[in-house]
A = this chain, B = another copy of it.
Amino acid sequence: MKNKKNRNKKLTGSSYLKDKIFSFFGSGKKYLKGFIFPEIRVGVRRISLNDKNRKDFCLDLYDTSGPYTDPRISVSISKGLPKIRSGWKKESLNEGQKKSTVSSAVTQMHYAKKGMITPEMEFVALREGCTPYLIRDEVASGRAIIPANIRHRELEPMIIGSRFLVKINANIGNSPVSSGLKEEVEKMIWAIRWGADTVMDLSTGKNIHKIRETIIRNCPVPVGTVPIYEALEKVKGNIHQLNWEIFKETLIEQAEQGVDFFTIHAGILMKTIPLAMKRKTGIVSRGGAILAKWSLYHGKENFLYTFFKEICEILKKYDVSFSLGDGLRPGCIADANDEAQFAELKILGELTKLAWSHDVQTMIEGPGHVPLHLIRENMEKQIEYCHGAPFYTLGPLTTDIAPGYDHITSSIGAALIGSLGTAMLCYVTPKEHLGLPDKEDVRNGIMAYKIAAHVADLAKNHPLARRWDDAISEARFEFRWEDQFRLALDPETARKYHEPASLKKILALDRCCSMCGPEFCSMNLSQEVKKCYKRKKKFINR
C-alpha cells in the first residue's frame, strides 16, 4: 500500500492533470537497451498476466506515453521532460556507403543515404522489432521517415512507413474562440497516454508560440504544425498581407523550437484552383483555402511552391520533415477522387523528389472524405505519383451523414487505407464538423484510430500484431477477467462496462457475464464441450 501511495505522489507530471489516474493498472514500464548505442533506452509497456499454463507470462506493448508512465521519473511541466537525446552519441555507424552529396544536412535521410546508422534509427528498430539496417534502408529510399528535429531533445524517435506499424496522429490546439494553454498541454499528455504516435498542434488562437513551446518541451512524440496558421496570425488574419518573408521567419522560429514536421500546402496552384470550383464543398483544407485566396488576390503562384527550394534549405538544417499538405482534399463524398485532388497529388509527387534531393524527409497528406470503393485508387495513385513516400491520411470518412460519429465513419476508411499501405492515420474525433474536441473527444478519437491502425497491422500480417489479439482471446476463453481488462486497448472502459460488484456475486465464480448468464454462456459451454469431447473422442466417427 505504501508503494502505491508513493507512486502516485512521484508522478508530478500527472499532478498537473485534473485526473490523477495515469498509468494503466497492471502495466509497468520496462526498458529495452541499445546494442549499437548502449545509451539508448526504449520504454515499453509491460502487462503482467496470470496465465496458469505459462508462468510469469507478460506482454510488451509499444509505448508512446514517455516518462509520464514511469513512476521513477519526476516530471515538471515548467521544466520540461529530460532531454534524452542530448546524451546520445552524435557519430553514427558508417558502413562505407556514400550516396548523398548534400552538404550541411543533418537529416536522418542524409545519414541513411550515407549508409550510417544513427541512435534514432536504432531506437526505432527496437520499437518496431526489426533490424536497424531495415530502418536505414527504408529512410534512405524515402519510403519511411523519422520525424526528429535536432532541437527536440525530449523526443523518443518513431518511424512512419508502410513496412512498419501503422501510426496515428492526434490533432490538438486551441482556436480563437476556445481553450487555452493548460487544456491543450493536458490534451497532449492524455493523447500520448492513450496511444497517439504524433501530435499536431493546430492552434490558431491566442498564445500560439507559448502553447507550442510548452507542448514541445513536454512531448516525447513528434510534434507537427501548420506554420501558415501562425504566419496568418502575424498579419492579423489579412490573407493578402502574407508573404514569403513572414512565412520564412515563422518557419525558422518553429524549427528552432523543435517542431518535427511541417504541413506545407505547396501543391495548390493556379492551374488546380479552378478544378476545385466545380465542387460541392470547394476547398475544405484551411491551409489550402488560405493559399488559394492569396493566389487569387495577388494573381501570383502560391509562394510555398515558388520558394520550395528555400524551404528545403531551412528544413534540412534542423531535420524537420515535410508533411506535404493536400489543400485540395475532398470535403464530401461527392468530391472524392476528382480531378482537383489527383492533379494536386501529382504536384506533391514532384515536390517530393525536390525535397529528397535536399535530403529532407517527406510524407504526403491524403483525404478526407472518400467512399469505401474509391479508397484503393487513392493509395495506388499516391504510391505511383509520390514514388513510395509515406502516405498520411485524414480518415478517410466513408460517409457524410453522421456528424457526431465521424470517429466511426472515418475509422472504417482508415482501417482499409491502412491495410493497403498508408503509414499514418490522422484521427478524427466525434466533434468533427461540430466544434473543438475536448479531452473525452480526444479519447474517443484515439481509441477509434488505435483500432483502425491495429486492424491494418493485422491485415498486413505485421509480426507484432497478432500476439496481442491471441493473448486477450486466451484470457477471455479462460475467464481471466483481470487479464482481459489489463490487455484491453482501454482497460478503464472495459472494466467500467463490466458488471457492478453486486451482480458479480450472483454470477457463479465469475465464469460468465450478464449478457448470457452462467447457463447460456457460450465460453462456459464450450469448455464443457471440450471436456466432454475428450472423454468421448474414441466413440466419435470422424
Contacts and interface: CB of A to CB of B under 8 A. Distances in A.
Interface in A483-500: 484-485, 487-490, 493-494, 496-499
Contacts of A293: 525, 528-529, 532
Contacts of A430: 497
A533 B274 contact: yes
B455 A399 contact: yes
A281 B523 contact: yes
A398 interface: yes
Nearest to A373: B459
A333 B412 contact: no
A178 interface: yes
Contacts of A473: 280-281, 331-334, 400
A26 interface: no
A35 interface: no
A458 interface: yes
A405 interface: yes
Contacts of A282: 477, 523, 526-527, 529-530
A532 B296 contact: yes
- Of A450, A517, A520, A537, chain B has the most CB atoms within 10 Å of the CB of A520
Contact of A519 (B176, B469, B493): B176
A444 to B, nearest CB: 9
Interface stretch (A103-111, A112-120, A350-358, A508-516): A508-516
Q: Report copies per complex.
A: 2
A536 interface: yes
Interface stretch (A125-133, A250-258, A318-326, A432-440): A432-440
Interface stretch (A150-158, A284-292, A308-316, A386-394): A284-292
Contacts of A283: 522, 525-526, 529
Contacts of A448: 405, 408
Contact of A334 (B204, B205, B470, B487): B470
A456 interface: yes
Given A285-B522, A494-B434, A454 B280 contact: no
A46 to B, nearest CB: 16
Contacts of A400: 469, 472-473, 476
Contact of A522 (B175, B286, B437): B286
Contacts of A513: 433-436
B517 A454 contact: no
A541 interface: yes
Contacts of A237: 519
A409 B456 CA distance: 11
A539 B296 CA distance: 9
A376 to B, nearest CB: 11
A496 B539 CA distance: 62
Nearest to A473: B332
Contacts of A416: 372, 412, 416
A93 interface: no
Given A283-B522, A529-B283, A466 B334 contact: yes
A458 B398 contact: yes
Nearest to A430: B497
Given A331-B477, A334-B473, 16 more contacts: A176-B517, A232-B520, A270-B540, A273-B533, A285-B522, A286-B522, A297-B532, A331-B522, A373-B460, A399-B451, A403-B488, A409-B451, A412-B416, A412-B452, A433-B513, A434-B513
